[in-house]
Amino acid sequence: MHPISTADIQARIERDNPWWSHPEKTIPEALYGRRVYFKLFKTLALNFSVKRAAILLGPRRVGKTVMAKQLIHDAITAGIDPHAILYASIDAPIYSGTPLERFLGYMPKDIKGKNRLIIFDEIQYLKDWQRHLKDLVDTYPNVKFVATGSAAAALRLKSRESGAGRFSHFMLPPLTFYEFLEFSNDDKKLIFTDSDNAYRIKDIDALNERFIDYLNFGGYPEAVMNPDVRRNAEQYIRSDIVDKVLLKDLPSLYGIQEIPELNRLFSVLAYNAGNEASLENLAQSSGISKPTITKYIQYLESAFLVIKLSTVDDNCRTLTRERNFKIYLSNPSMRSALFAPVKSSDTELIGKLTECAIFSQLQHSVDFSKLRYARWKNRQSEGEVDVVFLGGPAQSPIWAGEVKWSDRLDSDFSRQTRSLEYFANKHKKLRETFFTTKTLHKTSTLADRKMHIFPSAYYCYAVGRNITSELAEVPETIAIDASI
C-alpha cells in the first residue's frame, strides 16, 4: 500500500486556501450573517501580542467553520498577507495522523519573518492535539494559532491538562432566539425599542409563531437560512448533528464501547426534556446502570447536547446526595428532529420546550452556574419553582421565576403562583420574581414585591438579546486574554 503523497497533501491544502493564488476573490462565508460572538472572537484570535492559541469550542453546526472563514476574510482585509494564512480541516482523511507542525511546511515560502495566522478546524480528530498545539505556540512566537472543535467540555479539559498558559477558550453556543430573528430578518418586524430602551412587541401572535419555529429548527444558522434544511430537519439535525456526536465524537473521545446504550439514554432524556429526573427512574426507563448513566450525562454535557440543572429545597439548600435533577436540551430543536416537530396545539409539550429554550438562552451567561430549580415537600407545603438565581456569599436567592406557556394566570392567579409565592415569602432578600405566559405582558405584585409577567417568547428574546448584545459592544481594539 502506498502512503499518501506529499504532492497530494499539498494539492489539498492549496485547494482549501484559495486566497494564496486568488487573494482578490471574496471568501463566500464572508457574505453570510455574523454571529454576535464574532467581534469578540476576532479580537481574541487576531491579537498577536498575546502568545496563546485561541480555541473556538462549540457543538456541531453552530457556525464554527463559517466564523473561521470570516476571520480569514477580515484578517486579509486588515492587511495580513494572504500567503501567511493557512486553513486546514483536520477531519479530512488525507490529513489522518499528520502532525500539526508539518502543515507549516506546506505554506508559501515567501512569508519568512511575517506574522502568520494558522487555523486548524475540528482539531479533536488529531490524537494528542493539545500537546502538538502547545509545542507550536512555544516554538513559533510570530504565529497566531486558532483551533476549532466540537465536544466542547472534553476539549477544554484536555487543553487545561496539557496547555495551561498557552490556550484561550471561546465558547460558541447555538443561536439565541434573538439571533434567530436577526438571521431570518424578522427582528425589526416583530420587536422595537422604545424611548426608554425597553423592548416592545409589535405582534405577539406573529412572535409566538416564530418562537415555535425556533423550537423546531432555530438553533442552527444553516437551518434558519436554508429552507431545504428546515423541510428536512430530521435528516439534517439528527443525522448530521446528533448521530455524529453519539456515534463518532463521544465514542472516539471517551472510548465508549456500548454506543447503543448512550444513544438510548439520550433518546430518553430528549423525549422527557424539561421533566425532573433521577438516576433511579432513568435506570428503570433505559435499562442502564446508575453509574453508567452518571458518566453518560457528563459526556452529553461535554458535547453540548444537554444541560443538567441541580435542585435546591425551599430553604435553598442543596442535598448532600443529589437525588433529583432536570435535564434540558441545550437546543430545543433537537427534540423535534428526533421525534416530530411541535405544533401550536401541543400546549403541554411547548411548555417543556419553552423551558429548554429559556435555559438555552441563559447558558450564554457567565452566571449560568448560579442557576437552580427549587422543589420541596414538607408539612407546610409542596411545590416547585422553575428558575432560581443564587448570589452573594450565602448563595441566597436573588430572583426566581416560573416558566409557562398559557394565560391561565389571568383567571387563576392564586393557584398558578402558589409555589412562587410560598418561596418568595420564605426568602425576604429575594428582590423580584417573574412569570412567563403565552401572551400576557404586565406587572403585578406577589409576596409584597414586584412580579414581572412576560410572554415566554418575549422573555426568551430579551434574555438572549441582553446577554449576547453585551458581547457585540466590545471594542475591536481591546486585548482579550481569556486565560484558564
| pLDDT tens track for 150-164 | 754 455 555 555 545
Residue type for 434, please? F
Contact 122, 149 (CB under 8 A): yes
Domain membership flag for residue 211: yes
Residues 302 and 442 in one domain: yes
Per-position b or e across 224-238, b if 16+ CB within 10 A of its CB: beeeebbeebeebbb
Q: Which residue has the higher pLDDT, 480 or 308?
A: 308
**Is pLDDT at 88 greater than 70 in this prediction?**
yes
Domain membership flag for residue 363: yes
Cell numbers linked to 49: 501580542
What per-residue confidence (pLDDT) applies to 251?
A: 86
**Is pLDDT at 235 greater than 80 in this prediction?**
no
Q: How confident is the model at residue 227 (pLDDT cuts 50, 70, 90)?
A: confident
Q: How far apart are CA 322 and CA 372, in angstroms?
A: 13
Q: How many residues make up the chain in this entry?
A: 484
**Is pLDDT at 97 greater than 90 in this prediction?**
no
Residues 140 and 215 in one domain: no
Residues 131 and 211 in one domain: no
Cα-Cα end-to-end distance for the chain: 44
Q: Which residue has the higher pLDDT, 113 or 344?
A: 344
Rounded mean pLDDT of 313-340? 89
Residue type for 197, please? N
Domain membership flag for residue 341: yes
264: left (phi over 0), alpha (psi -120 to 50) or beta: alpha
Q: How far apart are CA 248 and CA 241, in angstroms?
A: 10
Residues 344 and 402 in one domain: yes
Q: How confident is the model at residue 474 (pLDDT cuts 50, 70, 90)?
A: very low
**Is pLDDT at 404 greater than 60 in this prediction?**
yes
Rounded mean pLDDT of 398-416? 96
Residue of 173, 269, 187 lying closest to 219 (CA atoms): 173
How many Å is the maximal CA-CA distance in the chain?
79
Which residues neighbour 254 within 8 Å (Cβ) at sequence distance 6 or greater?
154, 299
Rounded mean pLDDT of 262-272? 94
Helix or strand holding residue 406 (H, E): none
Per-position b or e across 384-416, b if 16+ CB within 10 A of its CB: bbbbbbbeeeeeebbbbbbbbbbeebeeeeeeb
Domains of the chain: total: 2
What per-residue confidence (pLDDT) applies to 140?
A: 93
Domain membership flag for residue 1: no
Which residues neighbour 142 within 8 Å (Cβ) at sequence distance 6 or greater?
48, 113, 114, 115, 116
Residues 131 and 222 in one domain: no
Residues 226 and 359 in one domain: yes
Domain membership flag for residue 481: no
**Is pLDDT at 413 greater than 80 in this prediction?**
yes
Mean pLDDT of the chain: 89
What per-residue confidence (pLDDT) applies to 326?
A: 97
Residues 97 and 192 in one domain: no
What per-residue confidence (pLDDT) applies to 151?
A: 58
Cell numbers linked to 436: 412567563
Single residue among 139, 172, 205 that ends a domain in this structure: 172
Name residue, grid cell 471568501: 27
**Range of the structural domain that residue 448 is part of:** 178-468
pLDDT digits (tens, 9 = 90+) for 184-226: 999 999 999 998 888 999 999 999 999 999 999 988 898 888 8
Residues 106 and 240 in one domain: no
Residue 21: give its domain's CATH number: 3.40.50.300
Q: How confident is the model at residue 473 (pLDDT cuts 50, 70, 90)?
A: low
DSSP E strands, 90-238: 116-121, 143-149, 167-171, 191-193, 199-201
Q: How far apart are CA 230 and CA 362, in angstroms?
A: 25
Rounded mean pLDDT of 397-418? 96
Q: What is the pTM of this model?
A: 0.89
Single residue among 172, 202, 218 that ends a domain in this structure: 172
Q: How far apart are CA 413 and CA 98, in angstroms?
A: 64
Per-position b or e across 451-477, b if 16+ CB within 10 A of its CB: bbbbbbbbbbbbbbbebbeeeeeeeee
**Is pLDDT at 77 greater than 80 in this prediction?**
yes
Residues 158 and 199 in one domain: no
